[in-house]
Structure 1
Amino acid sequence: MSPTTMNRSHAESRTSYTGPGMIATGEATALLPTETTPPIRVFGTESIRDTFDDLCLQQAVNSRLAPGVTDLVLNPDAHCGYGAPVGCVMVSPTHIYPGPVGVDIKCSMSLLQLDLPTEAVDDRKVRRALISAICQRTPTGAGKGQRSVTKARHVNRSLGKQLVVEGASADVCRALGIPTGWAMRCEDSFHLGHDDTAGALESRLETLLQRRDMSNFSDKMQQLGSYGGGNHFGECEVVELADDDQARRCGDAFGLQDGKVAFLSHCGSRGFGHNLASGQFSTLQSKFDRWGIPLPAGDRQLVYAPLGTDEANDYLDDMALGANFATVNHLLINALVLEAFQEVIPGTKGNLVYFISHNIARKEIVDNRPAWVHRKGATRAMPAGHHSLAETPFAKTGHPILLPGNPRDGSAVMVAQPGAAASCYSVNHGAGRVLGRRHAKRVLDQATIDSEFESNDILSNCRQYPIDEAPAAYKDFNEVLRSVKSAGLASEVARLKARFVIKDASKADD
């Protein structure tokens, strides 16, 4: 059974949560007790906490009680996920968990700032031309790749092997027409293997390429520079900087330009990452069965590997390979989007603001010792002066946090505050679903959704905007942002207002 099918079956067989309730500790903070560990830290106003359903809470407790876990955080966007809730942070100094990374390894956000004033995209014909130019270069859809569009960058097997090992190296960027300086604007421009070498990734890749489930490697490399389906998107924005001194300082450091056009992208490691994650779940679940290892809460989605074992090393290598693909995928999409704007509006210039993940495990220092911080639908939030930002453009301000909301209410660029230490230096990765896809299709009205886009003058490449991706399928974005601000985790630097959306109308691939 595939991870997607298992997740759907699990969600549909949910039972009522019978554990202790949340205890409010502030306007946007709470604790969720467990029977045997320190409590789970919860961030969200009361109305946001009311959106956490029983399965989400049970998954949080199951994850907190799993072997080796020292911290568990629930962010405002939390909802049921694969083993662990989407919108959680899980810390372990001794174990690695595939579930709290997920099947879309290094699903991420990126933001491209253009030098165009908002008036440049006022004309609907211009926006239609931009949509067409982008779609000729960046395909959407679960199975779509470079062959399905006319102006993609084609990636052969040799370059594919190089980029999944090296990430956004200068050689890879030059081969794909990506500005090499953009690597400095990445949370991580490349990932190394379990022993902190690229050699481990080369060796692991050669092993993987001998397996039947990786016989489609060349085809998966053809998906580089594409969005995929589900909640992945590209969105043309207008930047509105907040009117305060910190926002202006951060805006300057980030390269944001008030009243100018930007482009926000959300996607991950596509079919390659899904192959890697599926293989890891299958392998680990088989070993748990064969060796009779008890599963945390009996949940097959919470399989794990102790650090230092062959199983953990293989997972860390596979995660790094998928993460390197995702990094280059985003950078290539941004290069192609800039090229599309230049085709329609000659002379357009652009620069990457930031690229940041929300489905990854990273080795960080937690409580003065190294630990693997698993962020599942959660994004890193390091404030000014944090040691990890030394020698980056963001050392004095904190790095950009890219939070997608919805086309109607906009998205946000934020920056972490010192209070983010309480959330393991993490915040939510967006609004978070409040309606499942099937439920949304049952209760939402297509005509209302389409008229809402029309009244807000937001265009889309879709004939009808996907009903399961409608704004009403997600939590109240303004209340989510209020939760983050009230909890002292981050402050708002800018709001991004949508002018058009690139999206796929078929089923999700993440």
Structure 2
Amino acid sequence: MTTSTKTRPNTDSRNLYSGPGMVATGEATALLRTETTPPIRVFGTESIRETFDDLCLQQAVNSRLAPGVTDLVLNPDAHCGYGAPVGCVMVSPTHIYPGPVGVDIKCSMSLLQLDLPAEAIEDRKVRRALISAICQRTPTGAGKGQRSVTKARHVNRTLGKQLVTEGASDDVCHALGIPTSWSHRCEDSYHVGHDDTQLALENRLDTILSHRHMSNFSDKMQQLGSYGGGNHFGECEVVEVGDNDRAREVAQTFGLRDGNVAFLSHCGSRGFGHNLASGQFRTLQDKFDRWGIPLPAGDRQLVYAPLGTDEANDYLDDMALGANFATVNHLLINALVLEAFQEVIPGTRGNLVYFISHNIARKEIVDNQPAWVHRKGATRAMPGGHHSLANTPFAKSGHPILLPGNPRDGSAVMVADEGASASCYSVNHGAGRTLGRRHAKRVLDQATVDSEFDSNDILSNCRKYPIDEAPAAYKDFNEVLRSVKSAGLASEVARLKARFVIKDASKADD
């Protein structure tokens, strides 16, 4: 990722991949060699591996050869990003890299299970009323916040400072009307500073609030409880639990209800996280320039900081602040969605299934030593019995993995298998793009996209569905899932079938 959302990856021919091709090692596994390191592990069937273009492969090699990196994995959804590919996992016990986290710190997925049978939303008028009720509470659009809708929660500066330093604490949840029990259904309900204290975050926040790029802190806090734009969405689903004993047993542990309505959300840290990450990129890039430090592969998006330095500490604190915002943002969105359902269908009850990130660096134990596992467009996948799940509701089963596909083909809830150790306990974060946004707008037909939604009886808040977010802009989701299953990384627990979608209507209706 970069300091500007308008910057594009470097496609200079000198940076394009010219090394040896991948060597298949199984139906959905392969190795990508580098000149000086053990090979990169690749997961994907042959047809999926064909979607990895040269720039994606070169970025993978560049990232593997970067200082301090001890492992790199390419998932089935991999495609070129900024510095590191989207859909990769990068491990380092000695360095922290902002690029494989990106500017949308802790972009995540969450799933709310409702007690409504599918028949309760069969009527299109009911779904239209639900869309309206949700959009009155959860704004969409890059710059939109609480002031743009009538029934949002108000977040003042004081509460904003509390939530970015505490995450989903009981006090923060009470203040926002979020059930406190939901914090136990989070991958991480809160993040602490570089020294494992909250005080480090409080001190860091005081410092950055004096910076010019964070002079709009209060405005950014007004974005809490909103989706934003791009590929972020809210989607009403019907749950279809797999027809096998394991799927049914795990679904019960997760709290999934076959044939009932659920709500899937995708968003992150909004403008606050973008400001933090952009500031970090500028600071590190300036220091690399000033000190004459060689950039990995000459790529400014692969700047880094050795652990223990002031630069690394500042980045880890900023990442934690952004991650805490993203956590509370998701939990608030789910509380607002439940409130909207209760307005339209009184008596509706709901509970959070899980909240899990796919843009974050986490300190984990890798090969018996602590390391920072950077997941860029990748999601954690810990199987039952993994030490990190002790004392959680998922200690025996493994935690839920939330994988968005597309409205036409559905999304999936999976659970990790023992084979996930081969992928640094990670899987893909979704389908992964196969067409760039500009390319999609050039080659896809709006009428065809909209007719697909009509034929599948999927409603949207957009007059025209965003064509750069059409299902055809993404990889074949069923083949992506087949890759994950065939590689022994995870098993499918349930499929989620879309009934309506909330997207950024401002761009879609231009």
Kept in 1, the 8 Å contact 2:127–2:500? The answer is: yes
Q: Which amino acid aligns with 1:453?
A: F
- SS of match in other structure, 2:370: strand
Kept in 2, the 8 Å contact 1:142–1:507? The answer is: no
Q: Which residue of 2 aligns with 1:247?
A: 247
- SS of match in other structure, 1:3: coil
Q: Which residue of 1 aligns with 2:438?
A: 438
Which runs of structure 2 are paired with 1:154-193 in the superposition (5 Å)?
A: 154-193=154-193
Q: Distance in 2 between matches of 1:168 and 1:157?
A: 17
Q: Which residue of 2 aligns with 1:142?
A: 142
- SS of match in other structure, 2:84: coil
- SS of match in other structure, 1:111: strand
- SS of match in other structure, 1:8: coil
Q: Which residue of 1 aligns with 2:223?
A: 223
Shift of 1:478: 0.1
Q: Distance in 2 between matches of 1:14 and 1:260?
A: 53
Q: Distance in 2 between matches of 1:249 and 1:172?
A: 33
Q: Which residue of 1 aligns with 2:269?
A: 269
Which runs of structure 2 are paired with 1:27-42 in the superposition (5 Å)?
A: 27-42=27-42
Q: Distance in 2 between matches of 1:433 and 1:506?
A: 22
Q: Distance in 1 between matches of 2:465 and 2:104?
A: 23
Q: Distance in 2 between matches of 1:174 and 1:186?
A: 17
Which digits, 9 at most, give the CA deviation of each residue in 1:449-490, with x for residues without a partner? 000000000000000000000000000000000000000000
TM-score between the two structures when normalised by the length of structure 1? 0.98
Kept in 2, the 8 Å contact 1:14–1:55? The answer is: no
Q: Which residue of 1 aligns with 2:281?
A: 281
Query: Structure 1's 14 and 111: CA in aligned 2 closer, same or farther, altered over 3 A?
Result: farther
Q: Distance in 1 between matches of 2:211 and 2:219?
A: 15
Q: Which residue of 1 aligns with 2:206?
A: 206
- SS of match in other structure, 1:276: helix
Kept in 1, the 8 Å contact 2:105–2:277? The answer is: yes
Query: Structure 1's 440 and 14: CA in aligned 2 closer, same or farther, altered over 3 A?
Result: farther
Shift of 1:506: 4.9
Identity %: 88
Q: Which residue of 2 aligns with 1:113?
A: 113
Kept in 1, the 8 Å contact 2:15–2:58? The answer is: no
Structure 1: state its 5+ residue gaps: none
Q: Distance in 2 between matches of 1:491 and 1:117?
A: 25
Kept in 1, the 8 Å contact 2:109–2:402? The answer is: yes
Q: Distance in 1 between matches of 2:216 and 2:183?
A: 28
Q: Which amino acid aligns with 2:323?
A: A
- SS of match in other structure, 1:414: strand
Structure 2: state its 5+ residue gaps: none
Q: Which residue of 2 aligns with 1:400?
A: 400
Q: Which residue of 1 aligns with 2:456?
A: 456
- SS of match in other structure, 2:234: strand
Which digits, 9 at most, give the CA deviation of each residue in 1:381-426, with x for residues without a partner? 0000000000000001000000000000000000000000000000
Q: Which residue of 2 aligns with 1:307?
A: 307
Q: Distance in 1 between matches of 2:106 and 2:317?
A: 13
Kept in 2, the 8 Å contact 1:7–1:81? The answer is: no
Q: Which amino acid aligns with 1:359?
A: N
Shift of 1:2: 6.0
Which digits, 9 at most, give the CA deviation of each residue in 1:77-120, with x for residues without a partner? 00011210000000000000000000000000000000000000
Shift of 1:14: 8.5
Q: Which residue of 2 aligns with 1:426?
A: 426
Kept in 2, the 8 Å contact 1:105–1:319? The answer is: yes
Q: Which amino acid aligns with 2:166?
A: E
Q: Which residue of 2 aligns with 1:130?
A: 130
Which digits, 9 at most, give the CA deviation of each residue in 1:307-361, with x for residues without a partner? 0000000000000000000000000000000000000000000000000000000
| Count of residue pairs the alignment pairs up | 508
Q: Distance in 2 between matches of 1:75 and 1:433?
A: 13
Q: Distance in 2 between matches of 1:278 and 1:85?
A: 18
Shift of 1:206: 0.1
Which digits, 9 at most, give the CA deviation of each residue in 1:161-191, with x for residues without a partner? 0000000000000000000000000000000
Is 1:345 equivalent to 2:341 in the alignment?
no
Q: Which amino acid aligns with 1:153?
A: R
Query: Structure 1's 277 and 63: CA in aligned 2 closer, same or farther, altered over 3 A?
Result: same
Q: In angstroms, what is the RMSD of aligned CA positions? A: 1.3
- SS of match in other structure, 1:10: coil
Q: Distance in 2 between matches of 1:313 and 1:2?
A: 20
Q: Which residue of 1 aligns with 2:80?
A: 80
- SS of match in other structure, 2:82: coil
Which runs of structure 2 are paired with 1:41-120 in the superposition (5 Å)?
A: 41-120=41-120
Shift of 1:498: 0.1
Shift of 1:19: 1.1
Query: Structure 1's 328 and 212: CA in aligned 2 closer, same or farther, altered over 3 A?
Result: same
Query: Structure 1's 386 and 249: CA in aligned 2 closer, same or farther, altered over 3 A?
Result: same
Runs of 4+ aligned structure 1 residues displaced above 6 Å come to: none
Kept in 2, the 8 Å contact 1:71–1:92? The answer is: yes
